[in-house]
Amino acid sequence: MPDRDFCTECAELIPIRRADLGYTTCMPCGELIARARKHTIVPMHKSNYMVVTDRETLKQLTRPGRTLEG
């Protein structure tokens, strides 16, 4: 069998339809990876929305009177 039919995280067999869609992980491993990624969408005053993935940046942006510097 081709390498793409095995999960890159746990080496379990991936269903062929899932592999054909381009997934390289089984459902349980894919779920764990997806839950580990976190982000928040923040509306900026008089601006567009901003995707924030760092908790410290989010804390800076939510303090009254503060803006993101740098």
Q: Over the stretch 10-57, which tens digit does the pLDDT of each residue have?
A: 999 999 999 999 999 999 999 999 888 777 888 877 778 888 888 888
Q: Enter the tokens of residue 51.
A: 């995707």
Asked if residues 40 and 50 have their Cβ atoms less than 8 Å apart, the reply is no
pLDDT at 44: 79
| Angle ∠(10,11,13) on CA atoms, nearest 5 | 115
pLDDT at 65: 63
pTM tops 0.75, yes or no:
no
Examine the pLDDT at 2 and tell me if it is beyond 70.
no
At 19 the three-state DSSP class reads helix
Asked if residues 7 and 26 have their Cβ atoms less than 8 Å apart, the reply is yes
